[in-house]
């Protein structure tokens, strides 16, 4: 056994010690058959030995290579030898010729893992990302060049140790501090053979190109850890400002107290503003820093009306108001679980076929302030005109909208645990359920 392999033995339980297994009867390990995920499976099985928590391996067949089905079968055989249950899920509508293949495959992978978690009644999926993956992610983001103000780097935090997917499934990365070579030495010592995916060295894709020219991964992964701490601290500062100065007095109408602009933490004010704009506009990504900074400088102008990140910004005597701008609001078929405009999820199934989700439009402008005499009536109507409702095929047939749940848009699909406090503050503004606590003991 090599020195690297010997070192992993005593570390095995420590790698998983921080994860709260006590309340979970089942957890999932995502296993492709590559060295990282296979090592994750073996180490997790060792760490969970003697516990009542069952470890289930799930393999996603992306349906992109003819060998994928056989490779899933190899993983199943390894699991059988380890005495573990195994499932294979297939991406049925894969289209290799369509654009954005890597991003689409990643989204399909996480969606299928979440479906497996729902089937197994768990909210925790272990994934095998390593220090190498973290270093590559940090290098990729640095190359794209989207720095924050000096002192912290939001993108430099890389992958979170735990990420909440779709508001319900925690993706946990126990191996984030380990080098791939350590894991391969461990597998060799255990007599376990991994599968090499040819796409991992295909230079047509960004990550393999970055990997080929990567320097010292220790430096990059260590920098990511420090950046994650700074990101969490900045999120906490922004959350305190949001808690103190922001509310939603009418559906879809977010109100900022002008005192927010006078806070003595300019970086946190700008960060809070960017998050609020993305939330009001239903956007996955925060608005451009330079444009947000320019808008922030103008928020003292009485009567200002501007748009950024699909959000309308109005400065009135009673405060600074954010709401979804009225353009490009979708009309889509209603089905249980569907997300509308990035801001709302329909939680219950429609009671009849042919029901659509749409915005009420101009008719909402006549509804008045709903008893809020301190609010600009016109802005209340604009905000209501961008809220969803269920409508039938007839021009005037409407249905109850109580089944909609508001989403904290920039953190709804992927929420790193370092952003948990900030996402919770935004959820309080929207009056929606906060994200669940991180899965750490």
**Residues whose CB is less than 8 angstroms from the CB of residue 277 and which lie 6 or more positions away in sequence, other chains included:** 283, 286, 287, 292, 308, 309, 311, 313, 322
Per domain, the residue ranges of the chain are 3-128+174-215, 229-430
Antiparallel, parallel or unpaired: β 414-416 and 246-250: unpaired
Q: Which of 320, 288, 322, 328 is nearest to 307 (CA)?
A: 322
Model pTM greater than 0.95?
Answer: no
Mention the CATH class of domain 3-128+174-215.
alpha beta
Sole residue written with tokens 């904290």? 408
Sole residue written with tokens 């069952």? 54
Q: Around Cβ 84, how many Cβ atoms within 10 Å? A: 20
Output the CA torsion 172→201→9→53 (10° steps).
30
Sole residue written with tokens 């009867």? 25
List, as one string, the DSSP characters of 268-320. HHHHHHHHHHHHHHT-SSPPPHHHHHHHHHHTTSTT-EEEETTEEEEEETTEE
pLDDT tens over the chain, length 441 residues: 333 444 566 677 788 989 999 889 999 999 999 999 999 999 999 999 889 999 999 999 987 778 888 999 999 999 999 999 999 999 887 777 677 877 888 999 999 999 999 999 999 999 999 999 998 888 887 776 655 544 567 888 999 999 999 999 999 999 999 999 999 999 999 899 999 866 665 556 666 677 766 777 888 888 899 999 999 999 999 999 999 999 999 999 999 999 999 999 999 999 999 999 999 999 999 999 999 999 999 999 999 999 999 999 999 988 999 999 999 999 999 999 999 999 999 998 888 888 999 998 766 655 655 666 689 999 999 999 999 999 886 554 555 545 899 999 999 999 999 999 999 999 999 999 999 999 998
Sole residue written with tokens 């570390």? 11
Rounded CA separation 375/115 (Å): 43
Sole residue written with tokens 């009306």? 305
Q: Around Cβ 239, how many Cβ atoms within 10 Å? A: 23
């Amino acid at each position: 056994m090599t020195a690297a392999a010997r070192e992993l033995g005593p570390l095995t339980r420590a790698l998983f010690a921080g994860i709260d297994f006590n309340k979970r009867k089942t957890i999932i390990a995502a296993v492709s058959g590559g060295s990282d995920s296979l090592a994750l499976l073996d180490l997790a099985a060792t760490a969970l030995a003697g516990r009542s928590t069952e470890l289930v391996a799930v393999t996603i067949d992306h349906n992109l290579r003819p060998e994928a089905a056989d490779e899933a079968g190899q993983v199943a055989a390894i699991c059988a030898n380890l005495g573990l249950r195994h499932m294979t899920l297939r991406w049925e509508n894969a289209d290799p010729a369509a654009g954005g293949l890597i991003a689409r495959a990643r989204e399909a992978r996480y969606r299928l893992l979440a479906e497996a978690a729902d089937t197994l009644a768990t909210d925790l999926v272990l994934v095998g990302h390593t220090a190498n993956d973290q270093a590559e992610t940090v290098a990729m983001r640095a190359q794209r060049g989207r720095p924050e103000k000096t002192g912290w780097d939001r993108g430099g935090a890389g992958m979170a140790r735990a990420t909440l997917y779709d508001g319900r499934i925690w993706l946990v990365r126990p191996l984030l501090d380990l080098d791939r070579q350590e894991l391969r030495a461990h597998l060799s010592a255990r007599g376990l053979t991994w599968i090499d995916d040819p796409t991992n060295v295909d230079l047509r894709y960004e990550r393999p190109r970055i990997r080929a020219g990567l320097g010292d991964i220790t430096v990059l992964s260590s920098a990511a850890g420090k950046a994650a701490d700074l990101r969490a601290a900045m999120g906490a500062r922004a959350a305190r400002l949001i808690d103190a100065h922001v509310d939603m007095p009418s559906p879809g109408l977010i109100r900022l107290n002008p005192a927010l602009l006078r806070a003595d933490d300019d970086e946190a004010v700008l960060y809070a503003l960017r998050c609020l704009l993305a939330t009001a506009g239903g956007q996955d990504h925060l608005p451009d820093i330079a444009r947000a900074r320019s808008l922030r400088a103008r928020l003292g102008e009485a009567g200002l009306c501007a748009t950024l990140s699909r959000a309308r910004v109005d400065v009135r005597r009673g405060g600074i108001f954010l709401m979804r701008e009225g353009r490009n609001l979708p009309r889509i078929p209603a089905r249980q679980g569907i997300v509308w405009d990035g801001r709302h999820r329909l939680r219950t199934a429609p009671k009849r076929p042919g029901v659509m989700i749409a915005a009420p439009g101009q008719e909402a402008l006549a509804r008045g302030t709903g008893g809020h005499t301190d609010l600009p009536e016109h802005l209340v109507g604009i905000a209501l005109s961008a809220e969803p409702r269920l409508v039938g095929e007839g021009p005037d047939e409407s249905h109850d909208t109580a089944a909609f749940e508001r989403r904290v848009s920039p953190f709804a699909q992927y929420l790193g645990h370092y952003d948990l406090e900030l996402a919770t503050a935004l959820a309080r503004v929207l009056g929606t359920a906060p994200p669940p606590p991180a899965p750490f003991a």
